[in-house]
């Protein structure tokens, strides 16, 4: 008689299911330190703009850089495929929702022009901003040297799921240790959601990890592939890997929660879960400075055979300055994100992001509905 075995499911939590517990000591918000560091580069706040064609072009990267922030430009996106990416973006914006994915695929099918990589990097550098660029693992060995030679300061390797051990038909695939040694700029990699995979990636020498599979408003990986882990649980697990790696090596590698955050409360929960920074896309798409005029679409929307993104229309309702620093009259937490971080940190007694990681959290599925009957009936 054989014994049956059953797959066990463990609970996992997203932003709507948890809450941050106030501390026993409080701190004035203006006394909190919200700086974020990658390698030897330091930024004024822990919010990074995602590598979306609808958000980051050289002009946007420059504007965010003036505020002390970081934007990542996609080397495999429209900026490096088209001499006039604004025209391509305008046609995507004008397309019907039904036709939008096909239009994005058509523009993404154009070949990457190597001369445009250098041109776009130089445009960002000329604006005075730190230049961060992104591409997939498959294109990294080809595109990374071109970008770094042109002056890129940070290189980001992104795919739906990234691991340190990858089986492929290539006789000698992407070897992270060699790439990091050759580039000599901070290399960030993602995306991942678990302890073991994160720890193995950190052991390659990367400078940062992106956390999240499929949580973003524009990503459909969870629908197409059925894959993902809610962001609070994913962040906690990856933060544990970071802390273990630090204890073992003395090398602290920041993790960046990437996607799924709609407002200041979600951002605060990501940081309290262990993130050193967050990466936002749709929030930045809402700004007047973003090139797609209030629309956004995912990096994988243009995939030739299996699109895993959708075009959405959040609209233009803010500026970069108001989104990050206010002042604001909005009561839903969608502006003054840095102010929300400082205020929440102060209420937990945290004077810096590291101390914020120690804030107590509770599972609280009623946190958004308790006592909110009049809000919910509006």
Q: Kindly list the catalytic residues.
A: 219, 313
Q: Which of 319, 284, 356, 352 is nearest to 36 (CA)?
A: 352
Helix ranges, 1-84 (H): 58-66
How, if at all, do strands 41-43 and 36-38 pair? antiparallel
d(CA 362, CA 245): 26
Residue bearing tokens 């090596």 = 249
Ramachandran class of 13: left when φ > 0, alpha when ψ lies in -120 to 50, beta otherwise: beta
Helix ranges, 320-363 (H): 320-325, 337-348, 353-356
In angstroms, the Cα distances linking 110 to 74, 106, 219, 233, 308 are 15, 7, 22, 38, 19
Q: Which of 160, 239, 224, 227 is nearest to 194 (CA)?
A: 239
Long-range contacts, stretch 234-237, CB < 8 angstroms, 24+ apart: 234/12, 234/193, 234/194, 235/211, 235/270, 235/273, 235/274, 235/275, 236/273, 236/274, 237/193, 237/194, 237/195, 237/198
d(CA 272, CA 20): 7
d(CA 366, CA 221): 27
CB atoms within 10 A of CB 293: 14
């Amino acid at each position: 008689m054989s014994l049956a075995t059953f797959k066990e499911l463990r609970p996992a939590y997203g932003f709507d299911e948890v809450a941050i517990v106030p501390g026993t000591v409080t701190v004035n918000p203006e006394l909190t330190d919200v700086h974020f560091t990658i390698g030897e580069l330091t930024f004024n706040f822990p919010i990074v703009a995602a590598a979306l064609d609808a958000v980051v072009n050289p002009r946007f990267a420059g504007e965010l850089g003036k505020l002390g922030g970081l934007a990542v430009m996609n080397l495999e996106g429209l900026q490096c495929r088209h001499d006039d990416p604004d025209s391509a973006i305008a046609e995507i914006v004008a397309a019907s929702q039904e036709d939008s994915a096909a239009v994005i695929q058509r523009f993404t099918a154009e070949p990457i022009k190597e001369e445009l990589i250098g041109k776009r990097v130089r445009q960002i550098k000329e604006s005075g901003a730190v230049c961060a660029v992104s591409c997939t693992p498959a294109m990294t060995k080809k595109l990374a040297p071109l970008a770094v030679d042109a002056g890129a300061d940070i290189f980001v390797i992104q795919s739906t799921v990234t691991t340190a051990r990858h089986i492929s038909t290539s006789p000698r695939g992407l070897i992270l240790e060699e790439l990091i040694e050759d580039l000599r700029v901070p290399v960030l990699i993602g995306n991942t959601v678990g302890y073991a995979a994160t720890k193995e990636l950190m052991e390659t020498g990367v400078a940062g990890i992106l956390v999240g599979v499929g949580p973003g408003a524009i990503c459909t990986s969870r629908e197409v592939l059925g894959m993902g882990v809610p962001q609070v649980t994913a962040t906690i697990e990856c933060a544990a890997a970071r802390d273990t790696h630090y204890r073992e090596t003395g090398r602290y590698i920041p993790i960046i929660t990437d996607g799924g955050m709609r407002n200041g409360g979600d951002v605060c929960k990501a940081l309290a879960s262990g993130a050193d920074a967050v990466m936002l896309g749709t929030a930045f798409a809402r700004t007047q400075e973003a090139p797609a005029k209030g629309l956004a679409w995912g990096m994988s929307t243009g995939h030739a055979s299996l699109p895993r993104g959708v075009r959405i229309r959040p609209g233009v309702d803010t500026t970069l300055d108001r989104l990050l620093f206010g002042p604001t009259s909005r009561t839903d937490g969608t502006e003054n994100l840095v102010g929300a971080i400082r205020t929440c940190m102060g209420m937990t007694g945290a004077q810096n992001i590291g101390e914020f990681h120690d804030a107590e959290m509770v599972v609280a599925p009623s946190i958004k509905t308790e006592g909110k009957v009049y809000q919910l009936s509006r």
